[in-house]
Amino acid sequence: MEKLIFRKFFFDIFGFFLIGILCLSLIVWVIQAVNYLDFVSEDGHSFKVYLYYTFLSFPKIFSRLLLFIFFISIFYTILRYEEKNELVILWTNGIKKKKFLNFIIKISFLLIIVQIILNAFIVPKSQDVARSYIRSSNIDYFPSLLKSKKFINAVEGLTIFIDKKNDKGRLENIFLKEGNAEFSQIILAKKGLLKRINKEYYLELYNGSIIDRSGSSTNLITFDQTKFNLSNFTTKTTIAPKIQEQPTRLLIKCIRNIYKYDLEFIERNLNCNKNSISVVNEEIYKRLIVPFYILIISLVGSCLALKSELQNNFNRHKILVFLVGIIFIILSQILSKYSGEFILKNISILIMPFLFSLMSYIFIQYKLKE
């Protein structure tokens, strides 16, 4: 009988959890997908790259929402059990509140393992794969980017301006500028045409001039016809792996080398040194320490079962439990910003989820004895 009751409670929590996190993740994913349309409209990537990139962002969204949805699942399930007097049935069937609490703790440890796997392995890998699609993609949508009377700077180091563009793709009064502070090249042409040859885009320009500037010297060259290769330019989208996309193994190696051996290294575009170690520490904290806040919010949510709906102050107790849970969720994100340096004054930040969990458990045990 006891196993059946706990099994039902388990499926009630996880049924609500899965529905809630999938629905909310899909909503956030759709909103982000709309924002990522800039990859096509401004950066010139293909829809295939856009779809891959947005799809691979889903694990990150899922992981970010896990803590909040799990707390809501526990809170809602226990509240529903209380309103339907199902908790009374549990107590009358000989199930002690302490055993009920321990069962919730077991569920929370299961979710902790799931989120650590997500944070440490699945999310970084999916983000890195998504970035690899950007790195390997071309500027596939140049025709749609070239618009009349508008400066286009979708690629790094190049600005294009076109006065007129007709339906057949013919261009008039073209201005191109590439280069930097030391060297720059300006191309002016009366007419032009965008062509694609062997999957590479070229601007075929007619009747114009090229102005080369290097330092204090300037050269002017006129032409009747020339080709400008657009494939030499890369997208302005960030293509280098970010810290969130680096493998957990590499970040741990960085921390060990800096603190234990005082060694610096560069691997997979990760510049591991004393200046960057704080960012690495923060990322490791988010991946491996923040998941333990699941234990805290599960203990906070279980406090809802300490009082009965028949008691006068139950509504106040319900609101208090909900607010404390939300505070801990917010606290888990705020403290991540202060976890950059593994020094003595920040040891408290590292052990805080474990300390709060222990304090919450002792508090609940004390209340159960009253």
Q: What pLDDT sits at residue 92?
A: 82
Quote the tokens at residue 131. 């970035």
Q: What is the dihedral of CA 232, 235, 241, 245, to 10 degrees?
A: -140
Which DSSP letter does residue 20 get? Answer: H
Rounded mean pLDDT of 146-161? 75
Q: Give the number of other CB atoms < 10 A from CB of residue 209.
A: 12
Rounded mean pLDDT of 188-213? 85
Q: Which of 140-149, 178-187, 329-338 has the highest mean pLDDT?
A: 329-338
Number of H helices and E strands in the chain, helices first, is 13, 8
Orientation angle between helical segments 347-369 and 293-302, nearest 10 degrees: 20
State yes or no: pLDDT of 344 exceeds 60.
no
State yes or no: pLDDT of 120 exceeds 90.
yes
Residue 338, helix vs strand vs coil: coil
Q: Which of 16-30, 35-49, 137-151 has the highest mean pLDDT?
A: 16-30
In the predicted model, what is the mean pLDDT of the chain? Answer: 84
Instruction: Tell me the per-residue pLDDT of 68-91, one tens digit each, with 9 for 90 and over.
Output: 999 999 999 999 999 888 888 888
Q: What share of the chain in percent tops pLDDT 70?
A: 86
Residue 196, helix vs strand vs coil: strand
Q: What pLDDT sits at residue 340?
A: 66
**180 compared with 293, residue with greater pLDDT:** 293
Instruction: Tell me the per-residue pLDDT of 46-61, one tens digit each, with 9 for 90 and over.
Output: 667 778 888 899 999 9
Amino acid at 245: E
For residue 63, what pLDDT band results from cuts at 50, 70 and 90? Answer: very high
